[in-house]
Structure 1
Amino acid sequence: MRSLKSKAASGDSTFKFHAGYKIIGDESETIVYGLAQCSPDLSRRDCDACLGNAISKIPDCCENKIGGRVIKFSCTLRFEREKEAYPNRSPYETNLNTLLSKITPKTIVDNGFYSSEYGQAPNIVHVRGLCRGDVNPITCWNCLNYAKTLLPKVCPNQKEAFGYYDFCTFQYASRPLLGYLDPEFAYSFNNPQNATDKKEFTSALNDLMQRLKSEAASADSNFKLSVGSKIADESETVYGLVQCLPDLSRPDCNACLEKVISDIPLCCKNKIAGRVIKLSCNLRFERGRF
Structure 2
Amino acid sequence: MWVKFTALSSILSHLLLSISLVEAFIRCYDTGNFTINSTYGKNRDLILASLPSNVSAKGGFFTANVGQNAYKVYALGMCRGDSSRDDCYKCVNSTIHDLIANCPNQKEALSWEGQPCHVHYADRLFYGTLEELGIPEAGYNTGDIKSNLTEFDTVWESLMDTVVRNASNGSSTLKYATGETDFTVFQKIYALMQCTPNLSHEDCDSCLRQSVSNYESCCHGKQGGYVTRPNCFFRWDLYPFYSTTTPSPSPSPDIKGINLTYQSFRCYNDSGSFTTSSTYGKNLDHILDSLPHKVSENGGFFEAIGGQDSNKAYALGMCRGDLIKDGCYSCVSSSVNDLRVKCPHWKEAVSLAVLRPCIVHYANRPFFGNLEVEPTDAAHNNESIKSDVLTNFEMAWEGLVVSMMRTASNGSSKFMYATEEAKFTESKTIYALMQCTPDLSQENCWICLKRATETHNDCCRAKQGGFVQKPNCYFLWDLHPFYALGPDTTAALSPAHTFTKGKYG
**Which TM-score applies when normalising by structure 2?**
0.44
Change (3 A) 1:110 1:287: same
The separation in 1 between residues aligned to 2:298 and 2:276, in whole angstroms, is 35
Change (3 A) 1:112 1:163: same
Q: Does 1:191 align with 2:356?
A: no
Among candidates 461, 466, 475, match of residue 283 of structure 1? 475
Among candidates 260, 269, 282, match of residue 94 of structure 1? 282
Give 3-state SS (helix, strand or coil) of 2:403's partner.
helix
Change (3 A) 1:202 1:111: farther
The separation in 2 between residues aligned to 1:222 and 1:162, in whole angstroms, is 20
The residue type equivalent to 1:172 in the other structure is Y
RMSD of aligned Cα (Å): 3.2
Among candidates 234, 256, 266, match of residue 448 of structure 2? 256
The separation in 2 between residues aligned to 1:103 and 1:264, in whole angstroms, is 31
Deviation track 1:76-124 (CA, whole Å, cap 9, x = no partner) reads 6989654311134111011111112223535534430011101111100
Alpha-carbon distance, 1:189 to partner: 1.0
Among candidates 329, 337, 361, match of residue 149 of structure 1? 337
The separation in 2 between residues aligned to 1:16 and 1:150, in whole angstroms, is 14
Alpha-carbon distance, 1:183 to partner: 2.7
Give 3-state SS (helix, strand or coil) of 1:184's partner.
coil
Corresponding residue for residue 426 of structure 2: 234
Among candidates 352, 366, 389, match of residue 176 of structure 1? 366
Give 3-state SS (helix, strand or coil) of 1:234's partner.
coil
Among candidates 392, 396, 404, match of residue 200 of structure 1? 392
Q: Does 1:108 align with 2:296?
A: yes
Number of residues of Structure 1 aligned to a counterpart in Structure 2: 242
The separation in 2 between residues aligned to 1:84 and 1:272, in whole angstroms, is 38
The separation in 2 between residues aligned to 1:151 and 1:212, in whole angstroms, is 30
Alpha-carbon distance, 1:177 to partner: 2.1
Among candidates 123, 127, 143, match of residue 311 of structure 2? 123
Change (3 A) 1:20 1:182: farther
* Alpha-carbon contact 1:221-1:246 (below 8 Å) kept: yes
The separation in 1 between residues aligned to 2:445 and 2:369, in whole angstroms, is 10
Change (3 A) 1:239 1:107: closer
Query: Identity across aligned pairs (percent)?
Result: 26
Alpha-carbon distance, 1:245 to partner: 0.5
Among candidates 267, 273, 278, match of residue 459 of structure 2? 267
* Alpha-carbon contact 1:108-1:141 (below 8 Å) kept: yes
* Alpha-carbon contact 1:118-1:124 (below 8 Å) kept: yes
Corresponding residue for residue 12 of structure 1: 177
Change (3 A) 1:109 1:251: farther
Deviation track 1:45-101 (CA, whole Å, cap 9, x = no partner) reads xxxxxxxxxxxxxxxxxxxxxxxxxxx944669896543111341110111111122
Give 3-state SS (helix, strand or coil) of 1:102's partner.
helix
Q: Which runs of 5+ in 1 are unaligned?
A: 22-39, 43-71
Larger radius of gyration: 2
* Alpha-carbon contact 1:226-1:242 (below 8 Å) kept: yes
The separation in 2 between residues aligned to 1:75 and 1:116, in whole angstroms, is 28
Give 3-state SS (helix, strand or coil) of 2:316's partner.
strand
Corresponding residue for residue 53 of structure 1: none
Change (3 A) 1:138 1:202: same
**Which TM-score applies when normalising by structure 1?**
0.74
Change (3 A) 1:107 1:8: closer
Give 3-state SS (helix, strand or coil) of 2:394's partner.
helix
Give 3-state SS (helix, strand or coil) of 1:116's partner.
strand
Corresponding residue for residue 67 of structure 1: none
Compare 197-206 and 110-119 and name the one that shifted more. 197-206
Give 3-state SS (helix, strand or coil) of 2:334's partner.
helix
Change (3 A) 1:167 1:266: same
The residue type equivalent to 2:288 in the other structure is L
Change (3 A) 1:201 1:20: farther
Compare 166-175 and 85-94 and name the one that shifted more. 85-94
The separation in 2 between residues aligned to 1:86 and 1:223, in whole angstroms, is 33
Corresponding residue for residue 323 of structure 2: 135
Give 3-state SS (helix, strand or coil) of 1:103's partner.
helix
